[in-house]
Structure 1
Amino acid sequence: MSTTPYVQRPGWFTNKMLNPLVSWLSRRGVSVAGSGVLAVKGRKSGEWRRTPVNPLHHRGEIYLVAARGHVQWTHNMRAAGGGEIFHGGRGRRFSATEVPEAEKPDILRAYLRKWKWEVGAFFQGLGPDSSDEELRAAAGRHPVFRLTYLD
């Protein structure tokens, strides 16, 4: 069994075309199904890093799910403890708390219900109708953060 955390790196098209387009649209107030742009300080550089994200509003809370696994923004979020989400030109500061594994199945199910059309390929065949057991087995591959807006 590998001890390397699950990471699904984006390809050239995503990095060079899709993410910049979604970020550009989001900065201008055009959201793709509720997407936004996450800004979080780099854990080593201290510089702001930006990436498109799909915030999930679920049961009165807001979550960020790392569909691609333990990617750079998740490491930065752990170090920074929060950041900003941008929709249009407006950013909202937040603090972030990582969600324990036991709470993830319900959140992952809701996330897949809303976003599977975009991120389903990163969940290895799972979907909103997957069992709790199947979602629990995948929970360690997908960090989840609960956001608390500060303003």
Structure 2
Amino acid sequence: MSAHVRTPGWFTVNVLNRAVAWTARRGISVWGSRVLAVRGRTSGQWRTTPVNVLTVDGQQYLVAPRGHVQWTRNMRAAGGGELRLGRRVEVFSATEVADDDKAPLLRAYLRRWKAEVGVFFHGVGPESSDEELRRIAPDHPVFRITVTN
């Protein structure tokens, strides 16, 4: 597994993420945003972060543009979590997608959110070849989520 992580800066943590989470808690989704809640792998306490939910062929996915960050490690340990939008809570199970299967998902993710997250993909974009997308796939965890409630 890749050790790739791009930690967010002060502005992202204290302004952007808080603003997106604030709107999601009030039931307003900005381009598919939700608040992801996952139990901490050590503490067992709920940890939250704003995410973009990608839908491809009727299936939902979570993509980690910043790499193997805390929520991805917690997701592997917990095997699922909750997506929150206002009062609506969707409990889900998660299955990590193999690197060889990520190219079309990364392409779809970048097609939708490149303006937000393109800087984290080392110059690879939605128009990049499958080979280029496969090259960066190990750096970006992807989870297929299945709502269970």
Identify the TM-score tier after normalising by the shorter chain: over 0.9
Taking every aligned residue pair, what percent have the same amino acid on both sides?
Answer: 62
Matches within 5 A, 1:59-138: 59-138=57-136
- Cα separation, 2, equivalents of 1:80 and 1:139: 22
Is structure 2 residue 23 aligned with structure 1 residue 25? yes
- The aligned counterpart of 1:54 is 52
- Cα separation, 1, equivalents of 2:25 and 2:48: 11
Moved more, 18-27 or 138-147: 18-27
Report how far residue 60 of structure 1 moved.
1.5
- The aligned counterpart of 2:10 is 12
- Cα separation, 2, equivalents of 1:50 and 1:4: 23
Report how far residue 34 of structure 1 moved.
1.1
Structure 1 residue runs of 4 or more that deviate by more than 4 Å after TM superposition: none
Report how far residue 21 of structure 1 moved.
1.1
- Cα separation, 1, equivalents of 2:116 and 2:132: 20
- Cα separation, 1, equivalents of 2:31 and 2:97: 24
The correspondence for 2:43, drawn from 25, 39, 45, is 45
Unaligned runs of 5+ in 1: none
- Cα separation, 2, equivalents of 1:30 and 1:135: 31
Letter in 2 for 1:19: N
- Cα separation, 1, equivalents of 2:51 and 2:140: 14
- Cα separation, 2, equivalents of 1:59 and 1:4: 28
Letter in 1 for 2:129: S
TM-score, L = length of structure 1: 0.96
- Cα separation, 2, equivalents of 1:6 and 1:130: 20
- Cα separation, 2, equivalents of 1:59 and 1:139: 20
- Cα separation, 1, equivalents of 2:79 and 2:71: 11
- Cα separation, 1, equivalents of 2:104 and 2:2: 25
Unaligned runs of 5+ in 2: none
**2:37–2:81 CA contact under 8 A, matched in 1:** yes
- Cα separation, 1, equivalents of 2:119 and 2:67: 12
- Cα separation, 1, equivalents of 2:144 and 2:98: 10
Count of paired positions: 149
Report how far residue 4 of structure 1 moved.
6.1
